[in-house]
């Protein structure tokens, strides 16, 4: 039995004053006695009592140990503390220690700032993080201060060539100090250390010193004599660009063999190939001719053939041979912004049921000679070119007053080879183009629009009714003014307005002018007759200022923009019928070729 813990220790087992008598025991036969000697008793009762106490204590101790072991077996097992537990404990202790925590943050911030303050450390961190930079520079010929094309530029192992502006751009560069190498044949190389930082890194202009032989050219327009800016000369291993006055210096490696083939190019001009004698150090002059070809009709073969020619009279070619079925009312209308020319003629020899010879509208590419027929009808009148679109009126085969589709105003997209009908009517009283729009007046019977005065763009997405009255005539009396004949009344319309204004009486000027705009509608050309001679006039569409470009006997329509700087006009006299070209920036006109007198864009003809 366990000890009574409430009993004082001194009284747990009081010492007996006498040995109590033993109870009577049953008699034991001799053969039942255990031969083993019983050592738990002795002849001294006090000793026996002590032994009992010791035995009892040992039993109690054993039971306590067993109870503790049993209780321990039910407790959760706690593994010995490993590295993870130690780290967790340390982090927890650090986090709960404000001084240690804030001190660590401050130290890291200082370390980060110091790392970025030291370039090698900063670039190492950024590069490791995947941050990259870019670089750009412009390579210049030191002797001319003009950009150099096709120069090799190497930065951090990446290599690119400069473009026509001398610009080299490199991307995805590692940050830090690296080597820049610039090389061009016949020029001293440049090698220098640069630092690629975070961002775009523009290094500005870098001059290359020429070491080869230099040859001088003056590149000019063949009519005006003015320098052709940014003209380029190139050989297999050399390039050079002209300045604003057309002065060009070509630097060539002395090891090149003579003669050297040099190609001269300029935007809007025909490429020229010249032979350069390397022993000739004189200044070479070269005239540049527009690349846009002029087209015309000639009957030198006995048929109405369509030709293309450069405006200096070179490189003439037969575009489309005549068939012998053409009437004399041929219309040739070149596009000033593409290589196409529109030809309206009866060349296909197709007749309607009444035997009337139909007119076809064909587009011919002056570069490839490809012919595409886009319309065929009793008659076709071309309204104008609008970039890659041509707008025309197709006069149908029916003369019935009940047919609202007898005449169709059509816009044809030469890029997509698709057409859109802008308006229809039994007939149109008038149609013309001005400042990138088409103005038209449908008749008073069976039209897709009510009778009146309308404006639309070539795409047909902005059709506006300007005057809701039957309009019989649209007269272009000034570049920005139209006069409208409306029954017995007259109206004035200013381009850009949303409505027309009624006049008090008949206008003083009813002379109808034919204007043709350049590609950006900044200037218009028109032809007048003054003192018995024809006059080609340019009008500024913003200021309305007029400038006489050319006065010449026999100067008549057709005329058109060859490009935004050149105009082509016709001279028709008893002595010649020929087409001439002139640069509107100056210089003399030049004859291109003798031609047959055909029509071009003109005023609307009432069918």
d(CA 318, CA 304): 11
State the CATH number of the domain containing residue 228. 2.60.40.4130
Asked if 277 and 152 sit in the same domain, the reply is no
Whether the predicted pLDDT of 342 surpasses 90: yes
Whether the predicted pLDDT of 142 surpasses 90: yes
Least confident of 26-30, 91-95, 182-186: 26-30
Instruction: Kindly report, residue by residue over 298-338, the tens digit of the pLDDT.
Output: 999 999 999 999 999 999 999 999 999 999 999 999 999 99
Asked if 346 and 483 sit in the same domain, the reply is yes
State the CATH number of the domain containing residue 199. 2.60.40.10
| pLDDT computed for residue 44 by the predictor | 63
* 285 alpha carbon, distance to own chain's centre: 37
| pLDDT computed for residue 81 by the predictor | 55
- Domain final position from 288, 314, 341: 288
Asked if 222 and 174 sit in the same domain, the reply is no
Asked if 112 and 180 sit in the same domain, the reply is no
Instruction: Kindly report, residue by residue over 50-96, the tens digit of the pLDDT.
Output: 666 666 666 666 666 666 665 565 555 555 556 777 777 777 776 67
> Can you read off the two tokens belonging to residue 211?
């070491």
> Could you list the residue range(s) of the whole structural domain that residue 160 is in?
133-208
- Domain final position from 513, 540, 566: 513
> Does 391 map to a domain?
yes
SS3 content of the chain, % helix, strand, coil (to 5): 15, 40, 45
- Give how many domains the chain has, as a whole number: 5
| pLDDT computed for residue 93 by the predictor | 75
Mean pLDDT of 174-186: 93
Whether the predicted pLDDT of 370 surpasses 80: yes
> Does 243 map to a domain?
yes
| pLDDT computed for residue 55 by the predictor | 66
d(CA 459, CA 455): 12
* 154 alpha carbon, distance to own chain's centre: 27
Asked if 375 and 389 sit in the same domain, the reply is yes
Asked if 218 and 245 sit in the same domain, the reply is yes
Asked if 452 and 427 sit in the same domain, the reply is yes
- Bridge partners (DSSP) of residue 548 are 537
- The percentage of the chain sitting over the pLDDT mark of 90, rounded to a whole number, equals 68
Asked if 258 and 164 sit in the same domain, the reply is no
Binned at pLDDT 50, 70 and 90, residue 494 comes out as very high
Binned at pLDDT 50, 70 and 90, residue 489 comes out as very high
Mean pLDDT of 500-514: 93
Mean pLDDT of 498-525: 94
State the CATH number of the domain containing residue 307. 2.140.10.30
Whether the predicted pLDDT of 12 surpasses 60: no
d(CA 159, CA 165): 17
| pLDDT computed for residue 460 by the predictor | 93
Whole-number mean pLDDT of the chain? 86
What residues have CB less than 8 Å from 525, skipping those under 6 apart? 515, 516, 536, 537, 538, 539, 549, 559, 560, 561, 567
Asked if 335 and 411 sit in the same domain, the reply is yes
Whether the predicted pLDDT of 26 surpasses 50: no
Asked if 281 and 146 sit in the same domain, the reply is no
Instruction: Kindly report, residue by residue over 200-237, the tens digit of the pLDDT.
Output: 999 999 999 999 999 999 999 999 999 999 899 999 88
Look at the alpha carbons of 67, 70, 76, 80 in this order and tell me if their dihedral is positive or negative: positive
| pLDDT computed for residue 69 by the predictor | 64
> Does 599 map to a domain?
no
> Does 271 map to a domain?
yes
Whether the predicted pLDDT of 277 surpasses 80: yes
- Domain final position from 154, 176, 208: 208
Higher pLDDT, 457 or 443: 457
Asked if 504 and 527 sit in the same domain, the reply is no
> Does 45 map to a domain?
no
Binned at pLDDT 50, 70 and 90, residue 3 comes out as very low
> Does 275 map to a domain?
yes
> Does 264 map to a domain?
yes
| pLDDT computed for residue 340 by the predictor | 97
Whether the predicted pLDDT of 31 surpasses 50: no
Q: State how far the alpha carbon of 464 is from the alpha carbons of 14, 430, 453, 484, in Å.
A: 132, 16, 9, 16
Least confident of 22-26, 261-265, 315-319, 550-554: 22-26
> Does 89 map to a domain?
yes
Asked if 493 and 350 sit in the same domain, the reply is yes
| pLDDT computed for residue 480 by the predictor | 96
């Amino acid at each position: 039995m366990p000890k009574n813990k409430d009993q004082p220790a001194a009284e747990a087992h009081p010492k007996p004053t006498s040995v109590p008598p033993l109870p009577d025991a049953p008699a034991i036969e001799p053969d039942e006695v255990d031969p083993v000697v019983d050592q738990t008793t002795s002849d001294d009762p006090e000793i026996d009592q002590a032994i009992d106490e010791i035995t009892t204590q040992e039993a109690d101790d054993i039971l306590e140990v067993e109870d503790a072991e049993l209780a321990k077996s039910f407790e959760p097992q706690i593994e010995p503390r490993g590295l993870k537990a130690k780290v967790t404990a340390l982090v927890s202790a650090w986090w709960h220690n404000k001084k240690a925590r804030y001190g660590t943050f401050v130290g890291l911030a200082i370390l980060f700032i110091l790392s970025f303050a030291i370039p090698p450390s900063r670039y190492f961190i950024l590069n490791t993080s995947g941050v990259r930079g870019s670089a750009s520079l412009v390579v210049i010929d030191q002797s001319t201060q003009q950009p150099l094309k096709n120069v090799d530029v190497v930065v951090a192992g990446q290599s690119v060539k400069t473009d026509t502006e001398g610009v080299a751009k490199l991307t995805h560069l590692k940050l830090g100090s690296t080597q820049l190498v610039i090389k061009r044949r016949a020029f001293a190389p440049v090698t220098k250390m640069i630092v690629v930082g975070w961002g775009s890194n523009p290094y500005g202009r870098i001059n290359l010193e020429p070491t080869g032989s230099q040859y001088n050219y003056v590149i000019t327009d063949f009519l005006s004599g003015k320098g052709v800016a940014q003209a380029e000369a190139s050989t297999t291993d050399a390039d050079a660009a002209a300045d604003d006055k057309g002065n060009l210096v070509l630097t060539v490696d002395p090891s090149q063999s003579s003669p050297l083939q040099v190609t001269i190019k300029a935007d809007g001009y025909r490429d020229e190939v010249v032979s350069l004698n390397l022993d000739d150090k004189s200044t070479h002059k070269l005239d540049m001719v527009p690349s846009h070809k002029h087209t015309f009709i000639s009957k030198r073969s006995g048929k109405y053939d369509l030709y293309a020619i450069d405006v200096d009279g070179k490189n003439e070619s037969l575009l489309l041979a005549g068939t012998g079925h053409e009437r004399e009312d041929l219309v040739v209308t070149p596009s000033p912004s593409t290589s196409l020319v529109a030809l309206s003629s009866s060349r296909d020899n197709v007749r309607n049921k009444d035997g009337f010879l139909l007119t076809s509208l064909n587009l011919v590419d002056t570069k490839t000679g490809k012919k595409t027929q886009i319309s065929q009808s009793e008659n076709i009148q071309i309204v104008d070119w609008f970039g890659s679109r041509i707008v025309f009126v197709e006069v149908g085969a029916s003369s019935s007053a009940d047919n609202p589709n007898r005449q169709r105003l059509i816009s044809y997209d030469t890029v997509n080879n698709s057409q859109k009908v802008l308006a229809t009517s039994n007939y149109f009283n008038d149609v013309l183009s001005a400042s990138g729009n088409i103005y038209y007046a449908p008749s008073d019977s069976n039209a897709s629009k009510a009778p009146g005065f309308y404006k639309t763009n070539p795409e047909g997405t902005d059709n506006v009714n300007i005057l809701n009255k039957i309009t019989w005539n649209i007269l272009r009396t000034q570049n920005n003014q139209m006069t409208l004949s409306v029954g017995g009344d007259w109206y004035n319309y200013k381009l850009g307005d949303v409505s027309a204004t009624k006049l008090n009486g008949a206008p003083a000027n009813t002379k109808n002018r034919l204007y043709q705009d350049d590609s950006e509608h900044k200037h218009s050309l028109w032809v007048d007759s003054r003192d018995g001679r024809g006059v080609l006039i340019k009008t500024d569409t913003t200021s309305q200022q007029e400038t006489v470009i050319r006065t010449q006997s026999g100067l008549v329509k057709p005329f058109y923009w060859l490009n935004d700087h050149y105009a082509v006009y016709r001279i028709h006299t008893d002595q010649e019928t020929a087409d001439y070209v002139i640069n509107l920036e100056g210089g003399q006109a030049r004859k291109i070729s003798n031609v047959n007198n055909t029509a071009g864009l003109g005023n609307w003809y009432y069918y």
